[in-house]
């Protein structure tokens, strides 16, 4: 196993350093063609190492090209959840007694398998969830990092077994972190590989078993991940995949009495339902949930406006703002707000909108019709209650295939407490607000139920110190022109939120993530024990 210092997988940067960027693009483009040719298959559930067919199926289409069918997927029902939980329960004893070295080895092998298929997976994402090229390869890198890092963490912590020796004579004590049992893992569409791989690995590498339900819009990449785990040697029943809807699969999974813990990433509504259901049912296991965001950026009058405009534009609009970390409200000092807004609007109108697999696309299509409806509704509201400087319309470009392409939208003149500036939209939509001081800006930035990501643009160290001291946010970025609030590297920038943005305060890709999936046992043996 690779051990010692953790190294991130940085595909694009590595190619740039070696001067082989063109090779990267060629490999990606070839993979898009191969994956496109393979689309349209039929995919069963995967329970106890076996395919399971269902009576009903659902069709997934490419959000950027409705003519392209991604595949036909089995639609799970509560009985399939029962079947999968039974399989996971049955596999639990053997798996928890499998040495931590073996568990780490399997996930290390899976990381290698993802690396071998990185272009295929990146291309799959472009076609299935519309993620643009740069974002998609970064997500595949992140998935590799999660598996690699968690494997290393198991090793660094000696499988979370600590021998305390003899604190008093003749009394030998060890401390262990042990798995709970069966975890439900429910994942969102927007990071369909990294989040699915990260949460599943967190639950399972620590000795639990799992039933995984991916978002209904992104089941293909979930199937590919299960295939990768199988090829890496995960025993049957340890990870089971049940595709299907939130109410027919997700809810029964939450309510299943043998599901003792839950890993979830998605909306606040569903995340809180899981917590409430666990409480009502008296379940004692953890709910490790990463939820939404309404991420604020502050632009001080000392800011370098080029950095600020670039950071806000990319933070708000790349992948059409469909990220929990997307920049969504910007508090700009009144002395620079006109110039900032003018430049942001100008650069936003130049952003390439298009099919995700194109090299230069930044603003890619929206995932589904409900996102498109939300887009129209909030843009109408913005026109009514504020001022839309650019955007607000769906694209009807005859050059584009039929898909959900919309314009990135910049809005001013809505109050800070307006629903457009307080609710998460998950769309390419940003509101700009004037402030007269850093103090006012921080107070407004913190005035939210969410606290996931936050950004500051300032060239003044004192302002930066004050901001770090007062900002309520899990992830904090200063002067980040490549994106004001999005993007995180495993190990260096563990990812998670405070307040209603997360339930545990311990972040994915960080040192304290894995222990959340285990409970402690202290073991004491007095005297020498023979073998009678």
> Are 427 and 378 contacting, i.e. CB atoms less than 8 angstroms apart?
yes
Does the footprint of ligand NDP cover residue 324 (CB under 6 A)?
A: yes
Closer by beta carbon to ligand NDP, 107 or else 189: 189
**At its nearest, how many Å lie between ligand NDP and the CB of residue 345?**
26
Number of chain residues interacting with ligand NDP (CB under 6 A): 31
Closer by beta carbon to ligand NDP, 240 or else 458: 240
Exposure on the CB side of residue 207, measured as CA atoms within 13 A: 21
Q: Helix 305-317 to helix 337-349 angle, to the nearest 10 degrees? A: 50
Pairing of strands 161-168, 287-290: unpaired
Q: What is the CA radius of gyration of the chain?
A: 24
Q: Give φ, ψ of 199 to 5 degrees.
A: -70, -40
Q: Which of 159, 245, 401, 515 binds ligand NDP (CB under 6 A)?
A: 245
Q: Which of 8, 157, 267, 460 binds ligand NDP (CB under 6 A)?
A: 267
Single out the residue of 260, 273, 275, 364 nearest to residue 322, CA to CA.
Answer: 364
Q: Which of 278, 426, 457, 467 binds ligand NDP (CB under 6 A)?
A: 426
Q: Give φ, ψ of 86 to 5 degrees.
A: -60, -40
Window 430-459: residues binding ligand NDP (CB under 6 A): 452
Catalytic residue among 290, 357, 424, 472: 290
**At its nearest, how many Å lie between ligand NDP and the CB of residue 248?**
8
Single out the residue of 325, 299, 320 nearest to residue 433, CA to CA.
Answer: 299
**At its nearest, how many Å lie between ligand NDP and the CB of residue 502?**
6
Which residues does residue 73 pair with via DSSP β-bridges, in sequence order?
43, 58
Does the footprint of ligand NDP cover residue 250 (CB under 6 A)?
A: yes
Tokens linked to 472: 């309520």
Q: Which of 47, 194, 211, 270 binds ligand NDP (CB under 6 A)?
A: 270
Window 484-513: residues binding ligand NDP (CB under 6 A): 495, 497, 501
Length of the chain: 532
Q: Which of 132, 216, 318, 409 binds ligand NDP (CB under 6 A)?
A: 216
**At its nearest, how many Å lie between ligand NDP and the CB of residue 268?**
6
> Are 408 and 382 contacting, i.e. CB atoms less than 8 angstroms apart?
no
Closer by beta carbon to ligand NDP, 291 or else 344: 291
Closer by beta carbon to ligand NDP, 190 or else 485: 190
Which residues does residue 210 pair with via DSSP β-bridges, in sequence order?
183, 239
Region of residue 201 (phi > 0: left; psi between -120 and 50: alpha; otherwise: beta): alpha
Q: Which of 290, 301, 357, 472 binds ligand NDP (CB under 6 A)?
A: 290
Tokens 């690995």, located at residue: 201
Pairing of strands 409-412, 387-390: antiparallel
- For the question of residue 324 being annotated catalytic, the response is yes
Catalytic residue among 324, 379, 453, 472: 324
Q: Which of 44, 134, 246, 401 binds ligand NDP (CB under 6 A)?
A: 246
Region of residue 5 (phi > 0: left; psi between -120 and 50: alpha; otherwise: beta): beta
Query: Catalytic residue numbers?
Result: 290, 324
Binding site for ligand NDP (CB under 6 A): 186-191, 213, 215-216, 245-247, 250-251, 254, 265-267, 270, 273, 290-293, 324, 424, 426, 452, 495, 497, 501
């Amino acid at each position: 196993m690779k051990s010692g210092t953790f190294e991130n997988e940085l595909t694009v940067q590595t190619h740039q350093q070696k001067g082989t960027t063109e090779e990267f693009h060629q490999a990606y483009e070839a993979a898009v063609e191969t994956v496109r040719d393979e689309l349209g298959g039929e995919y069963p559930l995967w329970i106890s190492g076996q395919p399971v067919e269902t009576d009903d199926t659902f069709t997934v289409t490419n959000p950027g090209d409705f003519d392209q069918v991604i595949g036909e997927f089995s639609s799970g029902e509560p009985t399939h959840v029962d079947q999968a939980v039974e399989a996971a329960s049955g596999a639990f004893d053997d798996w928890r007694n499998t040495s931590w070295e073996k568990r780490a080895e399997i996930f290390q092998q899976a990381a290698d398998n993802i690396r071998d298929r990185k272009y295929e997976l990146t291309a799959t994402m472009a076609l299935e969830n519309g993620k643009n090229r740069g974002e998609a390869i970064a997500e595949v890198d992140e998935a590799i990092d999660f598996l690699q890092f968690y494997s290393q963490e198991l090793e660094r912590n000696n499988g979370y077994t600590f021998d305390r020796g003899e604190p008093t004579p003749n009394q030998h004590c060890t401390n262990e972190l042990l798995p709970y049992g069966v975890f439900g893992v429910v994942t969102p569409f927007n990071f369909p590989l990294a989040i699915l791989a990260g949460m599943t690995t967190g639950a399972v590498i620590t000795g639990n078993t799992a039933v995984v339900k991916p978002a209904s819009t992104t089941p293909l990449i979930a199937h590919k991940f299960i295939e990768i785990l199988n090829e890496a040697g995960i025993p049957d029943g340890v990870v089971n995949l049940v595709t299907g809807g939130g109410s027919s699969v997700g809810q029964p999974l939450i309510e299943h009495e043998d599901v003792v813990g839950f890993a979830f990433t998605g909306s606040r509504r569903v995340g809180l339902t899981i917590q409430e259901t666990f409480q009502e049912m008296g379940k004692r296991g953890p709910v490790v949930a990463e939820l939404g965001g309404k991420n604020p950026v502050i632009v001080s009058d000392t800011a370098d406006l080029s950095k600020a405009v670039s950071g806000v534009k990319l933070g708000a609009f790349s992948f059409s703002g469909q990220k929990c970390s997307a920049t969504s409200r910007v508090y700009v000092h009144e002395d620079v707000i006109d110039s900032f807004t003018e430049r942001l609007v100008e650069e936003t109108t130049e952003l390439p909108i298009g099919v995700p697999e194109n090299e230069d696309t930044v603003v890619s299509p929206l995932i589904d019709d409900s996102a498109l409806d939300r887009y129209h509704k909030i843009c109408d509201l913005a026109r009514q209650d504020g001022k839309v400087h650019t955007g607000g319309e769906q694209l009807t470009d005859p050059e584009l295939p039929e898909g959900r392409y919309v314009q990135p939208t910049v809005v001013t003149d809505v109050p800070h407490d307006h629903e457009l500036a307080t609710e998460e939209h998950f769309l390419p939509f940003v509101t700009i607000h004037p402030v007269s001081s850093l103090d006012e800006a921080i107070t407004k930035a913190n005035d939210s139920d969410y606290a996931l990501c936050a950004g500051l643009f300032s060239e003044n160290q004192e302002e930066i110190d004050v901001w770090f001291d007062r900002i309520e946010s899990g992830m904090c970025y200063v002067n980040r022109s490549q994106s004001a609030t999005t993007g995180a590297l495993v190990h260096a920038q563990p990812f998670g939120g405070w307040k209603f943005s997360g339930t545990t305060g311990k972040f994915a890709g960080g040192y304290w993530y894995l222990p959340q999936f285990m409970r402690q046992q202290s073991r004491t043996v007095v005297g020498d024990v023979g073998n009678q």
